Structure 1
Amino acid sequence: MIVCGDDVLAHRLARELQDVYGERVTLVVPAPREPAPRPSVRPGPGAGLAQALFGRVTAAVARTAVADPPGTTADPALRVVETAEVDDTVLLDAGVAQAAALALVHEDDETNIRDALAARRLNPRLRLVIRLYNRRLGQHLETLLDQAAAVAEPGLDPGLLDASTTVLSDADTAAPALAATAIAGTSKVVQAGGLLLHAVERTPAAAGERADPGLCTLALLSATANDPAGFEGSELSGDQGPQLLPDDGAVAAARGRGTVALEAISYAGPTLPSKRFGTSALPVASLFSRRLRWSLAGVAAAVAAIALASSIATGDHPLHAAYLTLLDIFAIGDPAVGEATSRQVLQILAGFVGLLLLPVLIAALLEGLGTFRSATSLRRPPRTLSGHVVLLGLGKVGTRVLARLRRLNIPVVCVESDPEARGVALARRLRVPTVIGDVTEEGVLEAARIHRAHALLALTSIDITNLEAALSARSLKADLRVALRLYDDDFATAVYRTLRAAHPGALTRSRSVSHLAAPAFAGAMMGRRILGAIPVERRVLLFAAVEVAGNPLLDERKVSEAFHPGSWRVIALTTGSVPPDRPRAGFVWQLDPDRVLRPGEHVVVAATRRGLAELLGRGPRPA
């Protein structure tokens, strides 16, 4: 296995392949550069704390990124190649001609695409896993590289071609878990084809009460997982931690422990419509304020009353009386000289109504013009907004999380310091209230109505900014639900423990994007489609699409026999020969335990990382 990357995801992925799957890995990383001399800057107030925290993050990342240099025998299964730029020569030196899989996880999409084209030319049989943020471009790239492999190797197995190229995004992989952390009553979410899978955390069932297992029980939580302070760490309480994929006996014997149950729901309707003119983006109610609408209604009622009185007093037809009243209101009618007194009084009243109508029309014009002018600008958070989610950071991860929250119709307020950030355009199109400003400055969180918010998602790429935002938000609202995106997993664990100890009455979660994304990338390198990953406390469950034919642990076995507690479990299968990673595949979720799995079928399995390695034949077979 070859891994090419320039951040912590590459190092974590290499360790994942080596430790979990037992593969020999070559890690291609950029050569270290000499640090440029730093200008002398006088430190400001609070610089000591910021430097100490930044030093803690840097040291943790450095420990994660340390790898044995080439030629050492300390870790013979991991070889490190340092190069200034990846080209054909570097790929050949890394062994691309003999490799089984290559992962390109640079942060730059263009670099990954260029290296993928070169690698496919050098080895058509190579399995490619590409990190790409642009999903539409990723779909076209998958098709292009698979066609290139078919042209270069006409006799290549079609089943191998189907899994020869996989395009993943660390933002898409981590976004469901990050978004679910801030949602009340929901939990982790994975998309499988056209369905949404919800892994719902359930509280312990009362005595004599049977809990609803949903489709199946994925895990038994730690005994301290349901503590309101969020004690899910087992290391402080002596708990043995979560039990993944338990059997029915273990679930029945577990008392006082919450469970993680899987639920499948059909997707009802399209996503939120794009906010454009001519659609529901600007209804009449949003063009004019409520006070203005009441004013217009009052003027209309006055016109109708005068017209009715004129019809009764003069005996004219109601339509003719209404016509004369409108002429009097707009001051274009003839004076009622020599006519009945009632007609003259009504004409004077109509003139007064016309005077009242003039400022109302001007106000309506100004309000409508202001609404159209602000339609393409960012909305400000309404003063009455409450129970919303404050999303800090609209980068790659923040943009994906924002899209998921809006699909669930959850009110969101975004905070971003860069007005040209990647997700600002999405926030403008979805009409999401956005505050442009540095969260470290006074008044920014208050402008986002943090004191009335339900949760805070700090998803910027700077750990110190996320930590400072969490501390500032907690000072304004002590019971706020907080989820932090932190670069290093060790630092995330330390912050999580400290915050939960300082605020035992509030829910705190710390997440590392690389920790959530690495298992999905590693599973894709093993040759199977990874549908998603669900974190269960500090562990991860993978959902993968596996072919039954040729697998001795699945082929011609009953569903109950294919279940290995603690390692993997079959949760669904396709009714045809279409792999379940395709959007239109048919699913069967309620499986009969005595149903026999046949060749030609594909199953969806929930597995641990080590269990998936065993199921794919890359690890020791279970007894």
Structure 2
Amino acid sequence: MIVCGDDALAERLAAELHGVYREAVTVVVPSARVGEGARAGSAGRAAAALLGRMQAVVSRSARAPGGGSAQEPQILEASGPDEATLVHAGVREAAALALVYDDDETNIHAALAARRLNPRLRLVIRLYNRKLGQHLEQLLDQAAAIAAPGLDLTALDTSTTVLSDADTAAPALAATAIAGTNKFVQADGLLLRAVERTPPGRDQVADPGLCTLALLSATTNDPGGAEGSDDGGQGEVPQLLPDDRTVAAATGRGTVVLEAISHAGPTFSPGRLAGRGLPFGSLFSPRLRWSLTGLAACVFGLAVANWLTAPRTHPLHAGYLTLLDLFAIDDPALGESATRQILQLLSGLAGLLLLPVLLAAVLEALGTFRSAAALRRPPRGLSGHVVLLGLGKIGTRVLARLRELGIPVVCVEEDPEARGVPLARRLRVPTVIGDVTDEGVMEAAKIHRAHALLALTSSDTTNLEAALYARSVKHDLRAVLRLYDDAFATAVYRTLRAAHPHALTRSRSVSTLAAPAFAGAMMGRQVLGAIPVERRVLLVAALDVAGLPQLEGRTIDESFRAGAWRVLALDSAEPNERLPDLASAPSGDGAEHPVGLVWDLHPGYVLRAQDRVVLAATRQGLAELLGRPRRTSAHIPER
């Protein structure tokens, strides 16, 4: 694997490929000796800092058990990812290349050169322009097919994947706000999380979730999110993908179960939190509706009185005369009976009362229609929602993801022209316009009754200040902060966890959130994600059954191999309608995409060649299924 980049994402991606997937990685970083002058000196310092961090990663790898082998990450300094640099990095023999420079043009030039040098190469490109990324994917895949006419790109999983920080970080931020964990996988738009369960009591029944992924060597109840046992191999070791008999016999041991994330809070009507239509009842206020009702009853009573006092008059004619009197367009009742004259005076008085009520109704209806295109205010009884701070590039994608999951959201944004404000208006999401640090803004977002806070502004200090203030209002609030610097994020997380041990805090940098998605794309579209289980890792992958003798023609029960792999779900969509990448988030283009994953599988179902399955597997198990050479623990320890 080759990683080319100039910021923290390259560092995180290399660590993910080496530490989680145990792949051989070569990292191309900018040379610390770039140009002259103040601007070049700043770039040189940034490059030197990145190089120093990468060398620290290699040093930690060498000190780890079984480290110091040829599998350590290799670092290559270069001024840029030109053709000579790519050849020197071994692009002709590489399985995948990630181009994660902060500049789109640099990534595009390097991708074109790499595709020409190796048509079999799997490309992962970081681009901010999503439309350009879609066209670039098609162009590079067509270039690979033309360069190697006899090459089966589908069988080799040769693909071009274009990702952006916003698209990759949004699902992780949404999952952290909802479930409070980073042990999650996205499959066909559904968020799945791995939950550690403590051993059930004597009279309790354990909830198996979708399935049991592992038996833990120890359990933790750290509200800050400790990742299981780290005793260096003392005592029992975790068992990955155990069978039902082993799970039943393992009393007193915690488990890791897989479950789907859903919103368990109160449900709100579409007129309150979502929807694009305007309810008729919101046109007029209750006071105005009562006034109109009273006037209508008064007119009806006058019409009945007119009819009763003139027996020869038809009821419709009596009503017509009443309306004429009401609008003062009838002749005066001169020379008629006193009853008729009194009723005419009362009708005129009702007409005078009707004029201001009609004017108020018109003005209120116009104001309602005008405000329908404006941002909604948070409703009074709202609670259990997510307060989202910032509607920039990241916040917009997170808002779309939360609404797709049916989670109630209240947004806070300082700039009324921000990127996500039109989306909030279209989705009719309650939004507060104002500086989050100003007094009263957080209260307007109902922070005291919120379930979680997502601070996603572009300022680290603003996010931290908002989280600290929210914690002073509600001590047990779940807070998720977007912080740019990894070291600062770690320090904030530890401090907040120590100050509020009973509340859940997560501080996330975008590079940390984006790295797993980029690494999964480099492994191929079949890898949906990785779930850490103490010091080991489970991979979740989507595979076509055709050509896999361990799965094809076998039942669900027969295909299960304890400790190696287990089928979790079956894609029931037609082959020509399936999404090419189940790990991708819904596009949000308004088109309907088939959702065909079936999780409750019958043990006797026979897997066919045209089926696609989602399974959990160890690294060795997935390598065996895909026919890759199995690596020994002497070179790549299973940590």
With normalisation by structure 1, the TM-score equals: 0.79
Residues 529 and 495 from structure 1, CA distance in 2 versus in 1: closer, same or farther, beyond 3 angstroms? same
* 1:318 paired residue number: 315
The partner residue of 1:296 within 292, 295, 298 is 292
Specify which of 170, 173, 178 is matched with residue 175 of structure 1. Answer: 170
The alpha-carbon distance between structure 1 residues 526 and 258, as it changes in their structure 2 partners (threshold 3 A), is closer
User: What amino acid maps onto 1:442 in structure 2?
Assistant: E
Distance, in Å, in 1 between the alignment partners of 2:621 and 2:482 is: 28
Q: For 1:232, which of 212, 226, 236 is the aligned residue? A: 226
Aligned to 1:124: 119
What SS class does the counterpart of residue 182 from structure 1 fall into? helix
- What corresponds to 1:45 in structure 2? none
Matches within 5 A, 1:42-121: 64-66=53-55, 77-83=72-78, 85-109=80-104, 111-121=106-116
1:569 aligns with 2:566: yes
- 1:620 corresponds in structure 2 to 631
DSSP-derived class of the 2:397 partner: helix
Q: Indicate the larger mover: 355-364 or 82-91.
A: 82-91
Deviations 1:69-107 (A, max 9, x none): 9xxx99975344455554445444444344322112234
User: What is the CA distance between 1:390 and its match in structure 2?
Assistant: 0.6
Return the match for 1:543 from 526, 529, 540: 540
Larger deviation: 325-334 or 250-259? 250-259
> Match of 2:13?
13
Q: Deviations over 1:253-293 (max 9, x none)?
A: 2437464333599xxxxxx9999xxx843222223222222
Q: Deviations over 1:345-395 (max 9, x none)?
A: 222222222222222222222222223333333333344433321111223
Structure 1's 250 and 110: CA in aligned 2 closer, same or farther, altered over 3 A? farther
Residue type of the partner of 1:131?
Answer: R
2-side partners of 1:381 and 1:587: how far apart?
A: 35
Q: 1:605 is matched with which residue?
A: 615
8 Å contact from structure 1 (residues 177, 188) kept in 2: no
User: Deviations 1:161-189 (Å, cap 9, x if unpaired)?
Assistant: 65422234444444334223333799977
2:476 is equivalent to residue 479 of structure 1? yes
Corresponding position: 1:363 with 2:374? no
Aligned partners of 2:326 and 2:50: how far apart in 1? 76
Counterpart AA for 2:414:
S
Q: Which of 428, 434, 439 lines up with 2:425 in the alignment?
A: 428
Partner residue in 2 for 1:459: 456
Change (3 A) 1:233 1:297: same
Distance 1:312 1:460, change over 3 A: same
Q: Secondary structure at the match of 1:183?
A: helix
After superposition, residues 480-499 of structure 1 pair within 5 angstroms as: 480-487=477-484, 491-499=488-496
1:462 and 1:273, CA in 2 relative to 1: closer, same or farther beyond 3 A? same
Give SS of 1:606's match.
strand
Counterpart code for 1:297: T
Q: Structure 1 residues 143 and 318, CA, compared in 2 at 3 Å: closer, same or farther? A: farther
Aligned partner of residue 334 in structure 2, secondary structure: coil
Question: Residue 346 of structure 1: SS of its match in structure 2?
Answer: helix
CA distance in 2, matches of 1:7, 1:552: 43
In structure 1, stretches of 5+ residues that fail to align are 38-57, 266-271
Whole-angstrom distance in 1 between the partners of 2:352 and 2:597: 68
Q: Distance in 1 between matches of 2:540 and 2:290?
A: 55
Residue 398 of structure 1, CA deviation: 1.9
| 1:46 equivalent in structure 2 | none
Q: Structure 2 matches for 1:149-160, cutoff 5 A?
A: 149-160=144-155
Structure 1: distance between partners of 2:337 and 2:389: 71
Q: Does 1:261 align with 2:255?
A: no
Do the aligned residues in 1 keep the contact of 2:271 with 2:279 (CA within 8 Å)?
A: no
| 2-structure distance, mates of 1:304, 1:298 | 10
Please point out which of 275, 280, 283 is paired with 1:284: 280
Contact map agreement 2:81 2:110 (CA 8 A) in 1: yes
Q: 1:351 aligns with which of 337, 348, 352?
A: 348
Report what 2:399 is aligned to.
402
For the 8 Å contact 1:21–1:618, the answer to whether it is kept is no
1:317 positional shift: 2.3
Q: Classify 1:541/1:18 alpha carbon distance in 2 versus 1 (closer, same or farther; 3 Å).
A: closer
Whole-angstrom CA distance in 2 between matches of 1:342 and 1:570: 87
CA–CA distance in 2 between the matches of 1:230 and 1:603? 34
Q: Which amino acid aligns with 1:337?
A: L
Q: What secondary structure, in the 3-state scheme, does the structure 2 residue paired with 1:6 have?
A: coil
Partner of 1:48: none
1:306 aligned to 296, 302, 305, which one? 302
Quickly say closer, same or farther: Cα 1:138–1:359, change in 2 above 3 A. same
Mapped contact 2:7–2:50 kept (Cα < 8 A): no
Rounded to whole Å, the distance in 1 between the matches of 2:379 and 2:607 is 55
CA 85–479 in structure 1, closer or farther in 2 if over 3 Å, else same: same
Q: Is the 8 A contact 1:389 1:453 kept in 2?
A: yes
Distance in 2, Cα, partners of 1:403 & 1:538: 34
Aligned: 1:468 with 2:468? no
Deviation at 1:153, TM superposition (A): 1.6
Identity %: 67
Q: CA deviation at 1:412?
A: 1.2
Structure 1 residues 24 and 507, CA, compared in 2 at 3 Å: closer, same or farther? closer
Name whichever of 404-413 and 601-610 sits farther off: 601-610
Report deviation, 1:472.
Answer: 1.0
Aligned length: 592
Q: Following the alignment from structure 1 to structure 2, what is the Cα–Cα distance between the partners of residues 496 and 150?
A: 48
Q: 2:229·2:534 contact (CA, 8 Å) conserved in 1?
A: no
Do the aligned partners of residues 196 and 485 (structure 1) sit closer, same or farther apart at CA in structure 2, a change above 3 Å counting? Answer: closer
CA distance in 2, matches of 1:95, 1:140: 27
CA drift at 1:14: 1.6
Question: 2 CA distance for matches of 1:483 and 1:407?
Answer: 19
Structure 1 stretch 234-243 or stretch 403-412: which is displaced more? Answer: 234-243
- Counterpart of 1:372 in structure 2 is 369
1:261 and 1:14 map into 2 onto residues whose CA distance is 27
Write the letter of the residue equivalent to 2:385. H
